[in-house]
Amino acid sequence: MNLWEYIADRRDLLLFETAQHASMVAQCVLVAAVIGVAVGVVTYRRPRGAALATGTAGVLFTVPSLAMLGLLIPVLGLGVAPSVTAIVLYALLPIIRNTVVGLQGVDPMLVDAARGIGMSRLRALTRIELPLAWPVILTGIRVSTQLAMGIGAVAAYVSGPGLGEQIFSGLARLGGANAVNSTLTGTLGVALLALAFDACFVLLGRLTRPGGRRA
C-alpha cells in the first residue's frame, strides 16, 4: 500500500484527526493569548515583574516537551487535560515576551499625549497602547501557534487528540505494515496544518495593521 492509498483508505479518520489537531491548537493558543497578554499588560510597567514573568515562562520553555507531558501524567492523567496544559504553557512564553516588548516599545510621548487629553489609564491602554503593540503581540501569537503545532503532535504520547496519534502509532510499529505511511501522514498533516495557520496569521496581520493599509 503506498502513501496515497493509505490516505485514501483512512480519509475520514485522518480528516477527523486533522480537525481535532487544528481545534486543539487553536483553542490552546487562544487561552495562551488571553493569559499571556494579560500577564504582559500587568507586568510591562514593572521591570521586575516583567522579568519574573518572562523568566518563569522561559524556564518552562526549556523543559523538553516529552518530559513535561510525562510529568503531567501523575497530576492530570492521560488524554486532553495534560496535552492542553502542556501546549498552553509552552505557548505562553512568546506571547508574554512579545506583549511586554510591544507595550514597552510604544512611544512614551504618545501615552503622555493620551493621558494629557484626558484618557483614563485603561482607555489609553486599550485605545492607544495595545493597538500600537498589536503587530508585535501578533507575531508572538504566531510563533506560539507554530510551537503548539509541534507539541500538539507529541501530545499523542499521553493519548492526546490529533495527528500525533498517526506519528506515534507508526513509530511504535516501525517495520510493520503501513508504519512509515502512518508516520509520514501524521508529519505531513501537521506541517500542512502549520502552513495553513501561518497563512491565516499573515492575513490577520494585514487586516489588523494599525493605521490601515498604505493610504
Partner 1 sequence: MPETAAGGGGVPIELRAVTKRFPGAAAPAVNELDLTIAAGEIVVLLGPSGCGKTTTMRMINRLDEPTSGDILIGGRSARDIDPDRLRRNIGYVIQQAGLFPHLTVAANIAQVPRLLKWDSGRIARRVEELLTLVGLDPATFAQRYPRALSGGQQQRVGVARALAADPPVMLMDEPFGALDPITRERLQDELLRLQEELAKTIVFVTHDVDEALKIGDRIAIMERGARIVQYARPAEILTAPAGEYVEQYLGGGSSMRLLRLTKVGDIRLDSVPHATAGADARALLAQAEDEGRDFALVVDEAGRPRRWVSAADLAAARGPVGELGEETGPPIGHRMTLQDALEALLNADSDVVPVVGRGQAYAGVLSLSTVQNAIQAIKARERERRRRRLSGLTGDSGDGGSGDGGPGDSGSGPGGGA
- Contact between 24 and 84 (Cβ < 8 Å): yes
- Taking every pair of Cα atoms in the chain, the longest distance, rounded to a whole number of angstroms, is 71
192 binds partner 1 (CB under 8 A): no
Determine the number of helices (DSSP H) and then strands (DSSP E) in the chain: 10, 0
- 207 lines the binding site for partner 1 (CB under 8 A): no
Chain residues 132-161 in contact with partner 1, contact rule CB under 8 A: 132
Among 113, 174, 196, 203, interactor with partner 1 by CB under 8 A: 113
Q: Which of 70, 73, 115, 184 binds partner 1 (CB under 8 A)?
A: 115
- Among 64, 118, 175, 206, indicate the residue that binds partner 1 (CB under 8 A): 118
206 binds partner 1 per the rule CB under 8 A = no
Task: State yes or no: residue 117 binds partner 1 (CB under 8 A).
Answer: yes
Q: Which is nearer to partner 1, 24 or 133 (CB)?
A: 133
One of 32, 68, 128, 154 touching partner 1 (CB under 8 A): 128
Going by C-beta distance under 8 Å and a sequence separation of 6 or more, which residues neighbour residue 208? 134, 138
DSSP strand E in 30-157: where? none
The single residue among 24, 33, 114, 190 that binds partner 1, judged by CB under 8 A, is 114
For the chain, the C-alpha Rg in angstroms (whole number) is: 20
Exposure string of 171-192, with b = 16+ CB inside 10 Å and e = fewer, is eeeeeeebebbbbbbbbebbee
Q: Does 78 bind partner 1 (CB under 8 A)?
A: no
Positions that interact with partner 1 (CB under 8 A): 109-110, 112-120, 123, 128, 131-132, 210-212, 215
